[in-house]
């Protein structure tokens, strides 16, 4: 489960980086800032981007601290935010449809 969560969060970050690059937006200084920049530029709703930005830090924990992963934290993340990845995908789809 933790691996699927890690890959999902990585995809979210990669998509954000691609959009930022394509639109020549401010270069992020952290993975967390990628999501905030998307909100600041109307690609994601700003309140949503601020809500999900800590997920970028959590992705780092899953990737680099795999021996010390708190499974309760993984479980709570999935229980408390089950639709956030789907919402992200919908917001990105809406943005891409507007830019075509």
pLDDT in tens, 38-49: 999 999 999 999
For residue 67, what are the domain limits? Answer: 2-99
pLDDT exceeds 70 at position 73: no
CATH of the domain at 30: 1.20.120.580
Task: Look over the chain and give the mean of its residue pLDDT values, rounded to a whole number.
Answer: 84
Spatial distance between the Cα atoms of 55 and 51, rounded to a whole number of angstroms: 9
Per the structure, how many domains does the chain have? Answer: 1
pLDDT band at 25 (very low <50, low <70, confident <90, very high): very high
Percent of the chain with pLDDT over 90: 51
* Helix (H) or strand (E) run with residue 19 in it: helix 2-22
């Amino acid at each position: 489960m933790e691996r699927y969560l890690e890959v999902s969060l990585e995809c979210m970050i990669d998509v954000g980086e691609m959009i930022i690059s394509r639109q020549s937006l401010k270069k992020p200084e952290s993975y967390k800032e990628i999501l905030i920049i998307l909100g600041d530029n109307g690609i994601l709703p700003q309140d949503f981007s601020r809500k999900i930005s800590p997920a970028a830090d959590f992705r780092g924990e899953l990737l680099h601290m795999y021996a010390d992963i708190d499974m309760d934290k993984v479980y709570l993340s999935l229980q408390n935010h089950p639709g956030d990845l789907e919402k992200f995908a919908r917001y990105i789809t809406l943005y891409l449809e507007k830019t075509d």
